[in-house]
Structure 1
């Protein structure tokens, strides 16, 4: 079986082709359509070894145009696809597990779209474009919120009147496909009381007990939680009310501020890229402050999640920063001795799978995540069942 996995963002469509079924899945191709809606776009494709197969420049008016280019321009490469899986950021209350796309699912997605207006409408557009071009090709939606639906009500409830709870305003959590991959593929790393730190451009942490979700840092939207590349993380809503009143900010202005102009970029005034900030922090005080704020927020939330779990047995670092930025892991972990973390500088610098000393009461793992593998796994299960 060959599965095309699609991940539509606000201005891009990342994709990968996996072959095989069950846990025996191999990535054969990967690529992206970048710069959607911008003057200069790019479509590229690499093989399993990372060799560039296609690299074209163009202009892609919207996501539907981008997916048409993918299916047309790369047709010879991906023509044997049996099914398509989509990462969908938000499933709301009703869409709580991977689901084969039909008219009813699309209608439910349209109802959920206001919860994630920067993502879900684009993902719907991609699904509809595929349906139009290949109406018989099975499509499966995989939701980033689904993993967290098993959290207790106490963790999901906001301190708002009941009417808002009834309207679906609650903590949904995100990065669920990443957390699901870690818990499914590496159960030994999440045995007992565990915090998984998905640290990338978007960053969140999740508390799990024997692999089952207990709490997470992102809330109703992916804006909450710890400081991120361009997002604020948690912030006193009074700050936003003050700015709306004194600077006449409209909702779109607030959206841009908290999602695109804040975080590492806003504090440093230089870049949203962690490695760039690490490279210059020695001579740039604002860059140093941004990096320290990120690590401080991560430690603070680890402490809070450990309190929810009643202690801590393991930590897992994953995603771009978590997997590759040894210095960030170091700054977070060296302050966690009170939780039983006996940090090993040498193992961490060498990106070892375990970066604590032998016998550490709390073990710390570094595990690469793979959301696309998880999507392909779900697609294989559902399409086989449907057949």
Structure 2
């Protein structure tokens, strides 16, 4: 067997393989014998017909096709093994000659070779930039204020609404007389001045009482999140159902005791500070991990196959669509078509693939492959959090990835 190849962009290979007549003959004989034994001629049992009659009944094109397919499959595996290739997509095969033996061309997509730079030096530099984290007094006060708001006493009042009140409303949203999908609200409650609806909306409800029906228009800002509404005149019809006055509790010992095992305001503040520091530390660690990977990827050499990016992108688009469906937010409400969603995620998909390739390569180079015990322990943790019965095997690959990532990042952080 003769073979030759040349490299193409995207970790693809253009391969040419040639089998002479002697090399191809065993494949043809095997296919022919199989076809010969399965010939069905009226009046004879299968395989019992005279050789001359059976030979005439054999479909020679089918014999050649089966022989060629088997020859391609086996020789392709041999060439891949000889060159240490991992083929990651269905090869595109073209038979070029079958006069004396068999010749074919194939376009193969391979698992990409990843050449890393000095990733240890990069990791040492980046993790050396770790920032000190602390909880600021203003952040602690803001958290306490959020808790106070969540525990505010609400009293139904018969007066005009003002900023800070909780209001209950029905809202119709229209553009040029047509309802805006996803923007029709029934019994929606929000704090006046903090509704996060269109800027200027809350102001229109101030100084109005329960039972009033309001109609007004607002021009959407040029940078409004809904692309198709930007700069347009939006009409609102609001039924103000009820108004609630909110009374925030005082921050004292009685208040903090109602939040848990706290005996003083200072104890609550310390607990909040500890939580903020933990959260900030986790975010700082994530920032360093992301930056380290970004720098390692920049310094690495790899030619990522388009099929890997596309498969990753398909998964990301499916996740985005599932999230929008769960939130009852169709893509068109965000001013995005599926094609727009794909385009917006393409770069991230490419980066995700590059990240996984780099982590895999470091794991392989530094012998950080997860053990069966480590993966099983992670699977037990994941499935233990499930409220319903699940098959642990479904989480094996995910758990393997989590453990591998953790081991690689722990290694990099120690440089």
TM-score by length of 1: 0.17
> When you count helix as a share of all residues, which structure comes out higher?
2
Larger-Rg structure: 2
